């Protein structure tokens, strides 16, 4: 991500607020890159054989010297145009602290309109990146705490995602968002992954029966364990006990 690129450097050209009407636009290569905060509306970019779907409150980075196609709904954005940028990966940044980031973008725009101070504006842009980076670090810390709790308790067959949410005073939506951002799978999938990894190791050891393994890994019964194991691994647990 651009906000975690430690050696990031760029020159600021301008900061504008721009509205687009609904439609499809083919954009030719431009000598400047764009960091765009979506105040309202949606857009889908087709760039470098990838599709980037940008929603309200997202940030999109489009590097310089790239052709792209974009489909807009009617939308409103704050756009930072920069040049000599040493980061060249198109990407979307979604985040949770929407009110704070929105405030920083509007503050940046207003200060730019007042005095066009490049140094002050660049400082505020780095401040935005810092806030995004801090949010990621908070997610990582939270993920480490929750995943550690799951690793210690996954053998409890009564442990469910709602129990994890209550333990950490977090909503299912936020828990889902943290896991998807940190490991790319849902909390439920992560919990099942822990159970299957442990069961696989125990099966390879060959010292416990399938029923004993199922219960020790947090499965309600042997039958359910065997079905899930076959679905995920491609063969029944008995394959490893022969």
Per-residue pLDDT of the chain (242 residues; tens, 9 = 90+): 887 777 888 999 999 999 888 899 898 999 999 999 999 999 999 998 888 899 988 999 999 999 999 998 998 999 999 999 999 899 998 887 777 788 888 888 988 998 888 888 888 888 888 877 777 777 778 888 899 999 999 999 889 999 999 998 988 888 888 888 777 788 999 999 899 888 888 888 888 889 999 999 989 888 998 898 888 877 888 887 65
Q: What is the DSSP letter of 94?
A: -
**In DSSP terms, which residues pair with 93 in a beta bridge?**
59
- Which of 218, 192, 228 lies closest to 237 in space, CA to CA? 228
Q: Identify the pLDDT of residue 35.
A: 93
What was the pLDDT predicted at 242?
A: 55
Q: Tokens for 72?
A: 């807009």
- CA dist 35 and 165 (Å) reads 35
At residue 93, the pLDDT reads: 87
Residue 177 pLDDT: 81
Rounded CA-CA distance 212/204 in Å is 14
How far apart CA 212 and CA 233 sit, in angstroms, is 19
Q: Which domains does the chain have, with CATH numbers?
A: 2-136 (2.60.120.280), 154-242 (1.10.10.60)
Check if the beta carbon of residue 18 is closer than 8 Å to that of residue 79. yes
What is the per-residue pLDDT for 91?
Answer: 92
Q: Which residues contact 176 (CB under 8 A, 6 or more apart)?
A: 186, 187
Q: Provide the pLDDT for residue 34.
A: 93
Confidence at residue 100, expressed as pLDDT on a 0 to 100 scale:
76
Token duo for residue 75: 């939308």
Q: Are 42 and 54 in contact (CB under 8 A)?
A: yes
How many C-alpha atoms does 91 have within 13 Å on its Cβ side? Answer: 9
Here the tokens at position 213 are 């393994």
* Sign of the torsion angle spanned by Cα atoms 96, 99, 104, 110: positive
């Amino acid at each position: 991500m651009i906000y975690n690129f430690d050696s990031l450097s760029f020159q600021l050209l301008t900061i504008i607020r721009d509205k687009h009407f609904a439609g499809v636009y083919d954009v030719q290569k431009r000598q400047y890159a764009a960091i765009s905060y979506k105040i309202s509306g949606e857009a889908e970019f087709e760039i470098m054989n990838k599709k980037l779907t940008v929603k309200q409150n997202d940030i999109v980075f489009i590097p310089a010297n790239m052709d792209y196609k974009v489909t807009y709904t009617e939308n409103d954005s704050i756009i930072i145009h920069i040049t000599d940028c040493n980061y060249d990966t198109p990407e979307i940044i979604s985040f949770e602290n929407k009110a704070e980031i929105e405030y920083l973008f509007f503050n940046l725009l207003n200060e730019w309109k007042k005095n066009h101070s490049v140094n002050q504006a660049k400082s505020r842009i780095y401040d935005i990146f810092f806030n995004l980076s801090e949010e990621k670090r908070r997610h990582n810390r939270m993920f480490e705490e929750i995943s550690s709790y799951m690793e210690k308790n996954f053998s409890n067959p009564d442990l469910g995602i709602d129990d994890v949410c209550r333990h950490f005073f977090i909503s299912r939506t936020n828990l889902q968002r943290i896991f998807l951002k940190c490991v790319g799978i849902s909390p439920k999938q992560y919990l099942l992954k822990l159970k299957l990894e442990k069961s696989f190791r125990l099966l390879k050891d060959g010292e416990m029966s399938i029923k004993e393994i199922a219960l020790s890994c947090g499965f309600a019964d042997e039958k359910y364990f065997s079905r899930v194991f076959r679905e995920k691994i491609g063969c029944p647990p008995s394959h490893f006990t022969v």
